[in-house]
């Protein structure tokens, strides 16, 4: 089984951090890690799409007239369903006249 140990390499000299392996001679593989304080580079927008985005709306406001019309239809449907609750038996279809009255 392989076991890992943490160490610092300083001018070719190994300084063990914490536990030290109890071997006199061994084959090792060294992985060099980035320094802990290094800063990752920021991602940049490709020039081909820079400035081409647009804001469609926000959470509070509808996007356009179609969205307003759709919301008005949904509000009307909700009112109709509230009005019909208790007045219509389940399974009975409404006539056109009954729908137009509402």
**Alpha carbon distance 53, 51 (integer Å):** 6
Which tens digits make up the pLDDT trace of 81-97?
Answer: 888 776 666 666 777 77
Q: How many CB atoms lie within 10 A of CB 62?
A: 13
Question: What pLDDT is attached to residue 85?
Answer: 75
Question: What pLDDT is attached to residue 36?
Answer: 67
**Alpha carbon distance 69, 60 (integer Å):** 16
Please identify every stretch of the chain with a pLDDT value under 50, giving residue numbers as ranges: none
Question: What pLDDT is attached to residue 57?
Answer: 58
Please give the full DSSP string across the chain, using - where no structure is assigned: -----EEEEETTEEEEESS----SS------PPPPTT--PPPP---TTTTT-------SSS-SSHHHHHHHHHHHHHHHHHHHHTTTS-TTPPPPHHHHHH-
Are 21 and 5 contacting, i.e. CB atoms less than 8 angstroms apart? yes
* φ, ψ at 60 (rounded to 5°): -85, -40
């Amino acid at each position: 089984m392989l076991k890992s140990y943490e160490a610092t390499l300083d001018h070719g000299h190994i300084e063990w951090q914490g536990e030290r392996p109890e071997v006199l001679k061994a084959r090792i593989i060294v992985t060099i890690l980035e320094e802990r304080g290094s800063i990752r580079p920021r991602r940049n927008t490709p020039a081909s799409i820079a400035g081409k985005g647009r804001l469609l709306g926000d959470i509070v406001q509808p996007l356009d007239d179609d969205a307003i019309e759709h919301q008005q239809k949904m509000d009307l449907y909700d009112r109709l369903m509230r009005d019909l609750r208790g007045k219509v038996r389940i399974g009975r279809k409404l006539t056109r006249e009954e729908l137009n009255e509402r």
